[in-house]
A and B are shown apart, each in its own frame.
Chain A
Amino acid sequence: MPSENHYPNRLGIRGWLFGGNFGFERYLYALHRLTGLGILAYFLLHIVVTSSRALGPEAWRSAMGMVEGPLFKVGEYLVFAAFAFHGLNGIRLILLELGIAVGRPIEPVYPYRTSVHVQRPLAVVVMLLAAAVAVLGGFNLFG
């Protein structure tokens, strides 16, 4: 959440991509951003292209004719796979935000234990689900 009182972002864009010692979830965070940006770029164009349906069947077929071909098909699949990841990972993030699947609070006794290990199974399950949906979508489009 942005705040007026935050520290300056010294790493900039590099800071988004390099997970360092933060582990698997940190890379999911980077991928969540990347897929979000891709989906947004596609979505803004999608609004304009699909608006042609308001003008009737000829306008619709003409608009669809402009976005067919192998390059668009691959792009369409990438958007589908990005959505599978972004949507399912987003549901995981909402669950974590609500305090679900993070474990019970424990005493901070040395050696300290982080809640990341409690969260990890959810992340793994969500990634497996996203991969399964992406594969299904691939068979649907290219099969």
Chain B
Amino acid sequence: MRDQKLWTVHILAGAGVAFLLGLHMIIMHLDRYLGIFNPAGGKPIEWGNVAARSGSAWFTAGYILLLGAALFHGLYGLRNILFELSPPAGLKKAINVLFWLGGLGLFALGTWAAVAGCLTARAL
């Protein structure tokens, strides 16, 4: 039952990632054709463009949502792949603990970066 719920969350997170990461990819990698959310012009990774996006509350919220959904989707997917190899119970537990700690740590780092990036961009 628990895995059924986690699988449903995995699918919902996947749908969220497809939308948010799709938008991210359009902004960053199809800029020549669409050129959206790059107000400073030039490459999407130039600081002017990065600061404009980072300073937006919508983008900050979107980054945090994408971060959480992608971490869950990716790490749960990898966990499923590893569990299909029938590891012993102790290793399964270790994988669960490692993925939870690693995922939470990266979520904390990414959330800090999104919020601090927003404040930095607004202060400059």
Output the nearest chain A residue to B10 by Cβ-Cβ distance.
A1
Output the nearest chain A residue to B118 by Cβ-Cβ distance.
A54
Question: Which residues on the A side are within 8 Å of B15 (C-beta)?
Answer: 91, 94
Question: Which residues on the A side are within 8 Å of B80 (C-beta)?
Answer: 1-2
* Bound: A83/B4 CA distance, A: 26
Tell yes or no: A51 within 8 A of B by CB: yes
Output the nearest chain A residue to B32 by Cβ-Cβ distance.
A140
Question: Which residues on the A side are within 8 Å of B78 (C-beta)?
Answer: 36-37, 40
A43 near B47 with CB under 8 A, answer no
B30 near A54 with CB under 8 A, answer no
* Bound: A1/B51 CA distance, A: 41
Tell yes or no: B62 within 8 A of A by CB: no
How many residues on A have C-beta within 8 angstroms of the other chain's C-beta atoms? 43
Q: What is the minimal beta-carbon distance from B63 to any residue of chain A, in angstroms?
A: 9
Q: How many A-B residue pairs have CB under 8 A?
A: 97
Q: What is the minimal beta-carbon distance from B78 to any residue of chain A, in angstroms?
A: 6
B50 near A53 with CB under 8 A, answer yes
How many residues on B have C-beta within 8 angstroms of the other chain's C-beta atoms? 44
* Bound: A52/B117 CA distance, A: 8
Q: Which of B65-124 contact A (CB under 8 A)?
A: 67, 70, 74-75, 77-81, 83-86, 106, 109-110, 112-113, 116-117, 120-121, 124
Contact residues of B with A, CB < 8 Å? Answer: 3-4, 7, 11, 14-15, 17-18, 21-22, 25, 29-33, 45, 47, 50-51, 54, 67, 70, 74-75, 77-81, 83-86, 106, 109-110, 112-113, 116-117, 120-121, 124
Contact residues of A with B, CB < 8 Å? Answer: 1-3, 6, 8-9, 12-13, 33, 36-37, 39-40, 43-44, 47-48, 50-57, 60-61, 64, 76, 80, 83-84, 87, 90-91, 94, 97, 136-137, 139-141, 143
Q: What is the minimal beta-carbon distance from A40 to any residue of chain B, in angstroms?
A: 4
9 contacts between A and B (CB under 8 A): A2-B3, A2-B84, A47-B109, A48-B109, A54-B116, A60-B47, A83-B21, A83-B25, A140-B29
Q: What is the minimal beta-carbon distance from A54 to any residue of chain B, in angstroms?
A: 4
Q: What is the minimal beta-carbon distance from B28 to any residue of chain A, in angstroms?
A: 9
A61 near B47 with CB under 8 A, answer yes
Question: Which residues on the A side are within 8 Å of B54 (C-beta)?
Answer: 53
* Bound: A137/B17 CA distance, A: 19
Q: What is the minimal beta-carbon distance from B66 to any residue of chain A, in angstroms?
A: 10
Output the nearest chain A residue to B4 by Cβ-Cβ distance.
A1
